[in-house]
A and B are shown apart, each in its own frame.
Chain A
Amino acid sequence: MAFYTLGLTFNLVILLTVIVLAVWIYGIYFNFKKWGLGSTGYHDQLRNSFWLFLATWIHEAFKDGVWVFLRTVVLDIFLLRRTLARSPVRWIMHITMFYGFLTLATLSGLGLMIDIVEHFNLLGLAEPAEIAKEALSLPFDIFGYLLLIGATIAVSRRILLKSVRDNTSAYDAFLIGAVFLITITGFYAEWLRGNAFLVGNAFEYPLYAPHFALIHTVLALGLFALVLPWTKYIHVIATPMTLLANRGGE
């Protein structure tokens, strides 16, 4: 069973998640509409349309054919080719954060589904659901560490390299600080529960584990889902879309 604290119930968490998702989806729609303020071509008039942005993006992304689109997906999005060409250290940072973040987000979604199955005992699968959830803890740990490596490099770069530090804005600090904080609170919540990957029972304190889990969840949902569409976080979506629209920039 999932465990909740501070008066939160399963139903409340589901409701909060739905609200967060709704805000996130509206945020993405809002951004697409904002991007739609541009035209569809060099001389074309403005339409200010969500759909015309999508149409323009699809037109640009597939301009050189499906093969080029797929090549861009693999080389520029999955392998971050352009970053590797410029800086191997930044490539390690980005790729660990990219895969760490993406996989943890997917696993969290999957975990929520399993929670729902378990809670309502859908199709009588409560017990297998609990087992499945347990099986998720190892990938959670592995990708959590991956994200932690990336976030640590990112924070260290901003602190240690003068040229990078000098051009770090509040936005940058907020973004990287938030990623780092979310990763750390996630780990701490896990460690407090005991029997954790790599650290065992060194930090075990089950009484406060739900509180930290809650802090972690609120931060993750709040920052990534609520804040993402409205701030510079949007680059998480806009950068891959730009790479695809420009066919990798090549």
Chain B
Amino acid sequence: MADDKGSKPLMTGYMISTQMLEIDGCSRCQECMKWCPTFDVRQDRPGITPMYKNAKWRELIARSHSLRAKIFGPKPLNEDEMKTFTEDVYSCTTCGVCGTVCESGIKTVELWEAMRPNLVDRGNGPYGKQSFFPKLVKTDKNPYQAKQEDRLCWLPKDAKVLESGKIAYFAGCTAAYRQQALAVATVRVLNALGVDFCMLGKDEWCCASAMVRTGQRPVMEECAVHNVDALKDRGVETVLFACAGCQRNSTIDWPLWYEGYIPYESMPLSAFLRDKIRAGEVEFTRPINYKVTYHDPCHNGRHLMHLKGKDWAFEAPREVLQSIPGIKFQDMVRNRALQRCCGAGGGVKAGIPDLALDCAKARVRDGEEIGAEIIASTCPFCRRNIMDGRNDAKSTVKMLDVVELMAAAMGLDTTIPENPYTKYQEQDVIVCGPAVCEVGTIERKEPGKDLVGEAH
């Protein structure tokens, strides 16, 4: 039992007043418990569910701020209890399904993200390997200890990328260093459609999503301000994201840290491509004869649906998939706003990897239930984690990005040029011959130097 004397109180520093209100607004209807993806695979740990976390936070705050505390003085916090509570708070993927179903309308993602910095300040958080994030990003500007000048090392020599322009493609760290098939496919598709676009290259820094999600905010400001300024300097009006984590951060978090006008719009690549398909600008030359389902990433689904609309969040990627010839599309039972999180978000992949893996296996089972051969998504982190879950469950389901399927159906060459990070690549890929396309897997030749998992 830890000594409680002189224990620091739990602060409310990062919580907005209305979030303090939300804690008391929970009516304990238990609806969140039905949907929570982590509780679904940890039924013996009700403490990780929103209802219990709210109740515990309320109880802990009451030790210093209740009527009893006013009259008799504050009670110290028990450190063992705080340890358990910290684990509960960090067992959340911040997927936001609890907020979607909450009868009290509590904005849960923002609430958990406000609780975590208080735990960090108190010395309880972050959790596990999450503490590496700020150090890595501060030093290398990415979480993979990769060189900034290698940001575009995967770029095919014949690809056309401008120095500046009205449209930018923000690749993100994972596509640049660990899932280069996605980055190559994106560039190829944009080139094939005649879209003039620029990239930030070594001026592209980590979006810092992992820091915000895990309550380690200070590095965030530096990254947000740098990225926004870099995009502004290039005269960008539309930024395309093929990474849900970067998309969310650019849309929601960067503006909170950037003092000044942000002149560009952040747009999911799938929405941009859907518009091109609707305009009749896309020519598909090969059928993709697979049964495909779509996994909605939390970060550009539920997190964005209120800001950017459900069409961009949910319908655009589905429309892209359904436009591809040969694809038999079917949704999983849990889809769109009620989708099941892959388990990688909120720092869980880095902090509690076995929990992330179990969530991923549950999502793979969702895909298997409907007989899907390919789970498509628009998030490299979901892809990484679902692939890990698939491997662990020894399932045959493949995991691909929507844009890769599109590139394959357009007959584009998506070969990744040899580069210093080729040996770290491990991903499912789709390879097309003159008539048919087949899905395979690139095996990683060497273990990556990753201190933290490829996930936010």
Partner of B104, one of A42, A87, A167, A235: A235
User: A46–B101 Cα gap in the complex (Å)?
Assistant: 30
Query: Is A167 a contact of B51 with CB atoms below 8 Å?
Result: yes
Name the CB-closest residue of A to B34: A163
Instruction: Report whether B105 and A243 are in contact in the complex, using a CB–CB cutoff of 8 Å.
Output: yes
Write out the residue numbers on chain A whose beta carbons fall within 8 Å of the beta carbon of B17.
Answer: 35-40, 52-53, 56-57
Contact of B103 among A31, A41, A60, A82 (CB under 8 A): A82
User: Which A residues are in CB contact (< 8 Å) with B104?
Assistant: 82, 235, 239, 242-243, 249
Contact of B27 with A41 in the complex, beta carbons under 8 Å: no
Report yes or no: B20 in contact with A38, Cβ–Cβ below 8 A: yes
Contact across chains for A172 and B28 when beta carbons are under 8 A apart: yes
Complex: chain A residue closest to B100, CB-CB? A249
Residues of A near B55 (CB, < 8 A) are 169, 171
Query: Inside 8 A of B13's CB, which chain A residues have their CB?
Result: 39, 46
Note all chain A residues with C-beta closer than 8 A to B29.
83, 86, 90
Docked complex Cα distance between A76 and B293 (Å): 34
User: Is B102 an interface residue, CB under 8 A from the partner?
Assistant: yes
The 8 A CB mask of B1-40 against A (1 = contact, 0 = none) is 0000000000011111111111011111111010000000
Q: How far, in angstroms, from A243 to B256 measured CA to CA in the complex?
A: 23
- A44 cross-chain contacts in B, Cβ below 8 A: 16
B106 close to A235 (CB less than 8 A): no
Residues of chain B lying within 8 A (CB to CB) of residue A239: 25-27, 103-104
Q: Given A36-B17, A42-B256, A53-B17, is A242 in contact with B22 using a C-beta cutoff of 8 Å? A: yes
| Distance to closest chain A CB from B71 (angstroms) | 12
Interface-central residue, B18, B27, B28, by most chain A CB under 10 Å? B18
Question: Would you call A248 an interface residue if the criterion is a C-beta within 8 Å of the partner chain's C-beta atoms?
Answer: yes
Which one of B12, B13, B21, B106 has the highest number of Cβ atoms from chain A below 10 Å of its Cβ?
B21
Q: Please tell me if the beta carbons of A37 and B67 are within 8 angstroms of each other in the complex.
A: no
Known: A34-B65, A52-B17, A167-B46. A82 touches B25 (CB 8 A): no
Residues 20-64 of chain A: 1 if any B CB is under 8 Å from the residue's CB, otherwise 0? 000000000011001111111111101000001100110010000
* Distance in angstroms between the alpha carbons of A31 and B66 in the assembled complex: 9
A189 touches B (CB below 8 Å): no
Distance in angstroms from A35 CB to nearest chain B CB is 4
Q: Does B449 contact A (CB under 8 A)?
A: no
Whether the pair A31, B24 counts as a contact (CB closer than 8 A) is yes
B68 CB to nearest chain A CB (Å): 9
Which A residues lie within 8 Å of B16 (CB)? Answer: 38-42, 44, 56
Taking a contact as CB atoms under 8 Å apart, the answer to whether A242 and B21 are in contact is yes
B33–A57 touching, CB < 8 Å: no
Give Cα distance in the complex from A57 to B18, angstroms: 6
Distance, CA A80 to CA B27, complexed state (A):
13
CB distance from B64 to the nearest CB of A (A): 9
**A241, B55: Cα distance in complex, Å:** 18
Whether A234 contacts B24 in the complex (CB less than 8 A), given A38-B15, A39-B13, comes out as yes
Instruction: Kindly name the residue among B30, B103, B256 whose own CB sees the greatest number of chain A CB atoms within 10 A.
Output: B103
CB of A87 within 8 A of CB of B65, answer: no
A86 touching B21 in the complex, CB below 8 Å, given contacts A46-B13, A235-B26: no
Does residue A134 face the partner (Cβ distance < 8 Å to B)? no
Chain B: CB-nearest residue to A36? B17
**Beyond A39-B17, A245-B18: 11 further Cβ-contacts under 8 Å?**
A30-B67, A38-B12, A39-B13, A52-B17, A56-B16, A56-B18, A82-B105, A167-B51, A169-B28, A245-B22, A250-B306
Q: List 21 A-B contacts (CB under 8 A).
A: A34-B20, A35-B21, A37-B20, A38-B12, A38-B17, A40-B16, A40-B17, A43-B256, A60-B18, A87-B31, A163-B33, A235-B24, A238-B21, A239-B27, A239-B104, A242-B18, A242-B104, A243-B104, A243-B105, A248-B105, A249-B105
